[in-house]
Amino acid sequence: LNTTAPGKLNAVETIAREMKFIRDMGAVFRRDAAAEKIIADTYARIDLIREKARDVEKPKVMILDLMSSIVVSYGRDKIAGDMAAAIGGDVPHTSAAVGMENIMEENPDVVFVVTYDEKEEEVAKIRENPAFRHLRFIQNNRLYPIPLKFVYGPQTRTIDAVGYMANRMYPGLFDFAAEYDFGVR
């Protein structure tokens, strides 16, 4: 229910929806307390990031996924965009498919590129594109890989995804571990 499918292309994806999914799974498996701990810890991390980054300039953020010759943007209405916005990122409302012109027009401060199997080939395609060499994210070396597990149905990994993004959106301000231990079994 919490992942994108062709029929849900225009559905707005939110952190709240991810947390509802966790709460529902807690009810199904009679692990309500564990689900509520996951939800509370996730929102506490988001609040901590917002508070600590309150006086820091908010970066314009784009999350891209390279699919053959198409570039997919996880804009403001997709879960990755909602997570970045929740921690202070300025995430544009983009269509699902964007072109080089859209990226150039937005001129983001930070770009995350979805990677598969921990490979960074997709990042290199963006980094080496001469059309982007004058954009802020290239000039300031703010192009980062982001694992697919953080942008597609992150569920309990939402806390890890916002930590991962915060570490890169606000360098030096955060040092979140790669994986959060909720301490629930």
Calculate mean pLDDT across residues 2-17.
72
Whether pLDDT at 185 is above 70: no
The predicted-structure confidence for 12-33, as pLDDT tens digits, reads as follows 889 999 999 999 999 999 999 9
CA-closest candidate to residue 15, choices 115, 156, 183, 110: 156
The predicted-structure confidence for 171-181, as pLDDT tens digits, reads as follows 999 999 988 88
The predicted-structure confidence for 128-183, as pLDDT tens digits, reads as follows 999 999 999 999 999 999 999 999 889 899 999 999 999 999 999 999 998 888 87
pLDDT at 3: 60
Give CA–CA dist 55/52, Å, rounded: 8
Calculate mean pLDDT across residues 118-131.
86
Angle at 2 between CA 116 and CA 117, to 5 degrees: 10
Asked whether the CA dihedral 81, 86, 166, 31 is positive or negative, the reply is negative
Give CA–CA dist 61/110, Å, rounded: 5
Alpha-carbon dihedral 1, 21, 10, 118, rounded to 10 degrees: -90
pLDDT at 97: 80
> Model's pTM, two decimal places?
0.92
